[in-house]
Amino acid sequence: ALNQSLADLNGRIDVSFEFFPPTTESMEQTLWNSIERLQTLSPKFVSVTYGANSGTRDRTHKVIKEIKERTGLIAAPHLTCIDANRDELRQIAQDYWDNGIRHIVALRGDLPQGMAKPDMYAADLVGLLKEVADFDISVAAYPEVHPEAKSAQADLLNLKRKIDAGASRAITQFFYDVESYLRFRDRCAAIGIEAEIVPGILPVSNYKTLLKFAGFSNVKIPAWLHQRFEGIADDDQTTRNLLGASIAIDMVRVLSREGVKDFHFYTLNRAELTYALCHTLGVRPKPKA
Ligand code: FAD
């Protein structure tokens, strides 16, 4: 039984990888090294995040185009409603479609400080995209409730609206409380959401930063995670990375045993850990013919 529980998993698992647009040459090199390594795992798609101002928006477009040209992978740009009106969004979508982009991650977007709230929500963006063309659309979901939501139920109904508007899957905010993900998945099923609720996996690389970030994002740090890092949060990179890796591996194993078939990895543009997680799940390069 012990060997069985230590054995690598090997079911039908689909993975996707999220990257962000690099801002320096060395970051760009890191990104491409990572993409080259991770593409051997035949991800279902890879996605690239999108910032609020047009400079970062152009970077997203550029990376998406390059990924598509250099790897042939399905490259999905994130698109938000921030700082663009409906006509501009239609134009961006049309340009993507004309350039062969068929998958978009549709979001309301994070508001930069001082910027006015857009008069659209992600559900409206999904509808707008579907009017432009028949995109494959992913949307965001929040197992522990989005911080601006009126209630957990209102947030869940918002997810249902996004799916009903034409999204084909939801990718979750990162989480560490696996129970809250599983309960959320049940609640989605109970209100008739049939789309896959794909867990977004963010390995811990810096515990102190994570605490801050989890606070803004309304993500619970379970007691076991506090305990795991107690007294070691200031320790050197290696220790923290090893712990972060072992926690992420534990999480994907538990989720896989709970029947999760699709995983989305927030790679932070690094290949190593994501590659190890995929390997553990039984996701390996195809043998060369
Ligand atoms: P929505 O689904 O529109 O929901 C936003 C809030 O409004 C929720 O609280 C919801 O309950 C509420 N709401 C929705 N409709 C209504 C209504 N009609 N009336 C009242 N309240 C309503 N951000 C970026 O800027 N760039 C990225 O690339 C990016 N990538 C992401 C990827 C993933 C997988 C995830 C999970 C998040 C990402 N984000 C990104 C963050 C996201 O943009 C923020 O969390 C944002 O605050 C909410 O976006 P959303 O698409 O979930 O919004």
DSSP conformation letters of 23-71: -SHHHHHHHHHHHHHHHTT--SEEEE---SSHHHHHHHHHHHHHHHHHH
Residues 6 or more apart in contact with residue 132 via CB below 8 angstroms: 90, 93, 94, 97
58 lines ligand 1 (CB under 6 A): no
Share of residues in the chain with pLDDT > 90 (%): 80
122 lines ligand 1 (CB under 6 A): yes
Share of residues in the chain with pLDDT > 70 (%): 99
Centroid of ligand 1 to alpha carbon of 10 (angstroms): 33
Instruction: Give the global pTM.
Output: 0.96
Task: For residue 51, give the amino acid letter.
Answer: G
266 lines ligand 1 (CB under 6 A): no
> Is the reported ipTM for this assembly greater than 0.90?
yes
Q: How many Cα atoms occupy the beta-carbon half-sphere of 157 within 13 Å?
A: 6
Mean per-residue pLDDT for 228-254?
87
For the stretch 200-236, pLDDT in tens is: 999 998 888 899 999 999 999 999 999 999 888 787 7
pLDDT higher than 80, residue 93:
yes
How far is CA 277 from each of CA 91, 164, 204, 250, rounded to the nearest angstrom? 38, 32, 13, 9
* Residue to probe by mutation, ligand 1, list 104, 121, 151, most atoms within 8 Å of CB: 121
18 is catalytic: yes
The SS3 assignment for 193 reads coil
For the stretch 167-183, pLDDT in tens is: 999 999 999 999 999 99
Residue from 175, 248, 188, 235 nearest 208 by CA? 235
Query: Going by CA atoms, what residue is nearest to atom 40 of ligand 1?
Result: 109
* Residue to probe by mutation, ligand 1, list 47, 48, 124, 146, most atoms within 8 Å of CB: 146
For the stretch 136-167, pLDDT in tens is: 999 999 999 999 999 999 999 999 999 999 99
